[in-house]
């Protein structure tokens, strides 16, 4: 998705449990969305003309929002909410938003929190469901983390669906990242194969903002704001000592959106290293020599590195996976700290390096105002989709409009920075960093 024309190979159809036949309780108070309302994925003239030239349908998403007819009878509907994977600012805001929309707008009273992610469905873990009432969620948006708890690692999909059937849930909301989305899709498909009637709706949660066909995920704005504060502190540290270097490692396993945006937000970074752009350490144009020239010229420097950058330097190490099945990354932050100190020590050049890794602090904070509002809209749209009988889909923001996106489409690849696009060009302009590759 790095700037190419989106025209072929895109299946945007969203699965439905059946034809909605019940009048929505929102019919008299809300502007309802018609099923035929669509949001074009790539509305550029070049993309539209390419599709027309090839006689292809212009790819578009279903518009999200309340429908005139709903699938589930509100008085008999039972819902579950599960949060999985790592923490992220705004999870509690989404939980609160889902509960409030279900309870106050649709009249659904049976809402349950599934504790500790997928583990909460599995009997052997003995986690009891939590009654989610408006009073229970009243103040949770002022707390970091998730009041439901979370966990990593796969669970037997059959056992998860057994629990859903046993409790007679009609809608299950999954809040999580790439691994959670894949699990939610598997749950939805298993439910359909059994002929059971239950909607599975996902709200994508990844602080890295790397979900395809989703303009922005919740928590990202807060993460950028907090990361900017850390970069400013690193800048202060670097200027406070002769030949000072502030080295900041930020989240970004496969995509460097936080590092890039945080650098632009505070304009104090001199080098930004991301997974999408290769760099060398040694040689006249490598990072170390370039950093040396910067220190000699200006006396200080700030280096921001995304956790997934520079993984080629760990090529000889065994590649292990975490509980979510992700390949564990080599610790580029500590690696760079060691290499920078070794390089300047060998040249009898005393540097004062301060290394900062704020990852767990950033992901645990309370959502800022922008993210909190965003989470509320995502929650509302997720409820509208579930009550109308949609399934195996997620809520995303695309072209400033909330849309329904099939999970399979969003998880087929990671969203990455286009290194020829305006974001990365702005980073290079702000930092002044050259291409740090030899040859």
Positions marked active-site: 208
Distance CA 294, CA 300 (A): 7
Identify the CA nearest to 383 among candidates 173, 210, 204, 175. Answer: 173
Distance CA 395, CA 194 (A): 25
**Are 343 and 335 within 8 A, CB to CB?**
no
Token pair for 202: 């996902």
Sign of CA dihedral 330, 216, 146, 108: negative
Q: How many CB atoms lie within 10 A of CB 312?
A: 10
- Between β-strands 171-176 and 15-16, what pairing exists: parallel, antiparallel or unpaired? unpaired
List Cα–Cα distances, 40 to 31, 36, 325, 362, 378, in angstroms.
Answer: 21, 12, 33, 34, 19
Q: H/E element holding 172? A: strand 171-176
List Cα–Cα distances, 177 to 24, 84, 372, in angstroms.
Answer: 31, 8, 18
Distance CA 170, CA 80 (A): 8
Distance CA 273, CA 258 (A): 11
Q: Give counts: helices (H), strands (E), the chain.
A: 14, 17
Identify the CA nearest to 92 among candidates 416, 429, 364, 438. Answer: 364
What is the secondary structure of 85-109 as a DSSP string? SS--TTHHHHHHHHHHIIIIIH---
Q: How many CB atoms lie within 10 A of CB 251?
A: 27
List Cα–Cα distances, 317 to 261, 297, 334, in angstroms.
Answer: 31, 36, 15
**Are 266 and 302 within 8 A, CB to CB?**
no
- Between β-strands 78-83 and 110-114, what pairing exists: parallel, antiparallel or unpaired? parallel
């Amino acid at each position: 998705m790095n700037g190419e024309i989106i025209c072929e190979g895109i299946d945007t159809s969203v699965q439905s449990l059946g034809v909605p036949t019940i009048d929505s309780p929102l019919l008299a108070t809300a502007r309802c969305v018609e099923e035929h309302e669509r949001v074009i994925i790539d509305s550029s003239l070049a993309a539209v003309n390419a599709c027309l030239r090839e006689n292809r349908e212009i790819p578009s998403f279903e518009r999200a929002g309340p429908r005139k007819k709903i699938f589930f009878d509100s008085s008999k509907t039972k819902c579950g909410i599960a949060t999985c994977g790592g923490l992220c600012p705004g999870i509690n805001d989404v939980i609160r938003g889902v509960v409030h929309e279900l309870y106050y707008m649709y009249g659904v009273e049976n809402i349950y929190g599934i504790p500790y992610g997928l583990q909460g469905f599995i009997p052997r873990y003995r986690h009891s469901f939590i009654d989610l009432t408006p009073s229970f969620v009243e103040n949770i948006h002022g707390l970091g983390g998730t009041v439901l708890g979370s966990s990593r690692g796969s669970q037997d999909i059959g056992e998860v669906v057994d629990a859903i059937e046993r409790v007679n849930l009609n809608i299950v909301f999954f809040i999580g990242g790439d691994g959670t989305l894949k699990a939610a899709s598997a749950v939805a498909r298993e439910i359909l194969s059994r002929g059971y009637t239950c909607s599975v709706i996902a709200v994508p949660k990844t602080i890295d903002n790397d979900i395809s066909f989703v303009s922005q995920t919740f928590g990202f704005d807060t993460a950028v704001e907090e990361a900017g504060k850390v970069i400013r502190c690193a800048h202060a540290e670097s200027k406070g000592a002769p030949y000072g270097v502030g080295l900041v490692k930020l989240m970004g396993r496969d995509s460097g959106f936080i590092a890039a945006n945080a650098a632009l937000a505070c304009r104090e970074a001199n080098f930004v290293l991301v997974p999408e752009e290769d760099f060398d350490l040694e040689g006249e144009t490598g990072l170390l020599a370039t950093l040396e020239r910067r220190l000699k010229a200006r006396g200080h420097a700030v280096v921001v590195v995304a956790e997934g950058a520079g993984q080629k330097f760990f090529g000889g190490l065994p590649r292990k996976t975490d509980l979510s099945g992700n390949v564990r990354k080599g610790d580029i932050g500590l690696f760079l700290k060691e290499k920078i100190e070794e390089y300047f020590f060998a040249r009898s050049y005393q540097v004062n390096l301060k290394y900062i890794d704020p990852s767990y602090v950033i992901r645990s904070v309370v959502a800022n105002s922008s993210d909190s509002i965003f989470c509320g809209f995502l929650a509302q749209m997720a409820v509208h989709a579930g009550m109308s009988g949609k399934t195996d889909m997620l809520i995303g923001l695309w072209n400033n409009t909330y849309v329904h996106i099939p999970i399979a489409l969003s998880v087929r690849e990671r969203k990455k920075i286009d290194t020829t696009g305006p974001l990365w060009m702005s980073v290079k302009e702000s930092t002044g960093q050259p291409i740090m590759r030899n040859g």
